[in-house]
Chain A
Amino acid sequence: MISKKLTDPLLTALSVTVFLAALAMVFFYAPREAVMGEVQRIFYFHVASAWVGFFGFFITFLGSALYLIRNERRWDILALASAEVGLTFITLTLLTGMLWAKPAWGVYWTWEPRLTISAVQWLLYLAYIMLRGSVSSPEREARFAAVYGIAAFTTVPLSWFAIRWWRTIHPQVFSAGGMAITPKMLTTLLVSLAAFTVLYGALLRARMQLEQEQDRLAALRREQEWEV
């Protein structure tokens, strides 16, 4: 059993190691894509950050539902932390997507359905953070955010299915006919996914700890309030 004291440095070390490995594989192991060239390498970060972003929103959805069912603060903390980390990664997804779109499609942005839904997701979780800052009562803040976290996540399946429902110019990496990438590319992608997931875990844990410390501080203040 790893002690709590050791978990944080170990998680950070693991995160750095896997990330360095992913970087090395992206630039030295994965082959150069024939049509798009070097710019295609951004795909490993783009897909991995999108995965972590959507996974983060799923965890927010899960934390929100559990908070409403169990009324325990820890689930609210999980939802909040995951939304913040997920929003960061979706921001990264949009930025890397725009950097890729310019040489590939000739524009930084096009109103292609999945891009549009990604932007909507980004705005949704920005609204989630804004909502949390606009409620006076912490208990109400948690409940409102939980309801919003659940409602917001319902658009994720729509985003997922949108690529099939609408005509799109977005490349389909995973399609019914098999994968459109080589085995080396796939291995690199999987390592990138692992690296971003570990990073998500480390950031999530740090953010949750910060929130828990704030709660402890508030409890101490409460004690002092009564003493006075």
Chain B
Amino acid sequence: MERYQIYDVPKPARISRLIEAMYAKMPEVEASRAVLITESYRETEGQPIMDRRSKAFVHILDNIPMVIRPDELIVGSPTVAPRGCQTFPEFSWEWLNAELDTLETRAADPFYISEETKAKLREVNPYWKGRTTSELATSLMAPETLLAIKHNIFTTGNYYYNGIGHINVQYDKVLAVGFEGIIEEVKEARAKCGFGDADYDRRTHFYDAVIRSCEAVIRYAGRYADLAEKEAAACSDPARRAELEQIAKNCRRVPARGATSFFEACQSMWFVQYLLQLESSGHSISPGRFDQWMYPYYKADLENGRITPEFAQELIDCIWVKLNDLNKVRDAASAEGFAGYGLFQNLIAGGQDENGEDATNDLSFMCLQASMHVQLPQPSLSVRVWNGTPHEFLVKAAELTRTGVGLPAYYNDEVIIPALMSRGASLQESRNYSIIGCVEPQVPGRTDGWHDAAFFNMCRPLEMVFFNGMENGEQVGPRTGEVENMTSFQQVWDAYKAQMEYFISLLVNSDNAIDRAHSLLCPLPWESCMVEDCIGRGLAVEEGGAVYNFTGPQGFGIANMTDALYAIKKLVFDEKKVTMAEMKKAMLMNFGKSITPEFAEQVTVNIVKEMQAKGQPVNSGQIAQILAAVIGAGIPEKDKKRFEEILELIDGVDKYGNDLPEVDEFAREVAYLYTRPMQNYRNPRGGQYQAGLYPVSANVPLGAQTGATPDGRLAGQPIADGVGPASGRDVHGPTATANSVAKLDHIIASNGTLFNQKFHPSALSGRRGLDNFVNLIRSFFDQKGMHMQFNVVSRETLIDAQQHPENYKHLVVRVAGYSALFTTLSRSLQDDIINRTTQQGY
């Protein structure tokens, strides 16, 4: 018998209707959760934190409004409004109150908010003054750390102001035994607590909190059953009435007890999926290996003739739609870093099982099909690739890539399995890995990975080298010497290394403070009962209850720093064409190009403070002169000309991303400056730090806060994306770029690396195009690359590229016997290409 069947079920009409209804309006902020948690906290002042957290969760579940949307088969929503979101004042709220009136009009991820909701939030949020995790975390950080954060060397904002999320829980356990089963397990553990045990109070309060939470979840599902019955009774359409009656039956059974059908399993996993996001505000709650833990229910139904592949596909499609129903309001700055309302609920298909055999099944294909049907960003769909992955599976994945939706992301088992083993997981556990959030691998159901723990901008420590640790008159970094006095490249390198190590230690200081704040103020008993070994240890996830505990902060800017340091080495020290003093001046003056007023002010302050520090008096006339010089008006022609020369010289130096062994080797060493020191640190949950190398979309906003860099990047421009080359610096096509990226040590970056490539659809045209595309991925993975994802440009994107060529410098279009950089073509030729995008083969 075949291991799997491929059905290619057409898109159900219901799915189109659900999506249309869901996107009819702007997403909305609701206040019910904030009001309920505040009510509960006012009642439980002075009680142990586990009691308070669980009682608040119970109060929310027992009282939050419920809704069944038209056409839904899988029900349950945290908000009445589609794509709405609740708020979480226990983590932070002041930004929200400050931004209430601008939420609707802001550029990134706007939200509608009613006057009534605003009034409620203004009433309840101030209760949290002095009670949030963010305030506690701040008080736990060293002053040096707060200074570095103020200067944007890194940001730990993700968990500083929000819940953690970033977890995969034991969905399989809930599907098998339900929360009644889990309550039994917890009661047994509680019964073993001896009155004389040192941890009696801590354990029993934790267990009671879990039981209280699970019982509330069961009651909550029961309320949905009641609602479905009520709606069924009032429904005049017999078909819909039957559906509602089935929904009521499902909610009556799950998640209280184990699922007895695929339909029930879908409903049960959905309750888990979104209630985790009601208990806490963390994003990247990732279902992981959905195709594996759902498969037994599908298989049993199929074998017993209780389900058709068509209906199973429809149910999966419904879950996919629901995953897009969840939303999160972030502060305006973070919204830019995570643009697109993303919740990063990563769901991964394919790969091997824990015995090392290929685990691709019918559902793996149906996951890809569902994303083709819904064409929505959630789930963040991933596929696992290993040498034994069926070619047909990857061809199907490539077909999804070809639609231009940006999914799936491809992951290399051959790198991730050894990476996890190097962090202490067993071979079996590592083979069963799943991905959290963007790109972060972990052992599912057993890990609190704290992935996404920070964005560390690797460009900023180099700025610190150039200005001897000073910025705006403050000593932010260590004094590593005046660059003008450095006489060898080794001295520059050592200074950069020292700055990196110092700021990494501050990053750790920040993350550990936040970690402590979460364990003290916001432990999550309900989430914890679905993470091994919290029940065994009697500890919440936040207290170190999981089997594996990591902190994974990600660095980015490898490409810029490689190109920058390599240019310094070549131009200043090897070829002696530029001096360090000139390079410093070029950076300070942004290579003579115009800069933003804010940046000009910052640079001016810098110069003035430096002059003052050297004992030179500065009067207001001089300040005006300096400012004029900084803005560019006053930069002498001679300097401008020299800056142009320097830019041209930099342009002529080899760059990362072009398959040049010397530069690529350099990049590997630059990446080690981030990944290696990180491994030396430990977190309060008893786990290790492990680096990731990816910026999500923070390379754009954090680039805006970064001055010019010696790779020729101008002030404020985006920093390179992921582990890929700096924008427009790779000119030898995708294989050359991939070869360069593969030269990095991906295994040490066990919190994940991210490699984006952009393709014109011609690269995937026809079956041959798909085959070649799949094998391009395999060849990159043969060389131990970790991750790859693709933007296949659409007609719309090409039109955008015509309007904003600076964002698409490296977009190559290829036709037989010919290739060209899109943006270098004249307008009419670009139009030809745009007209060709719809062709299947040429």
Do A and B make up one complex? no
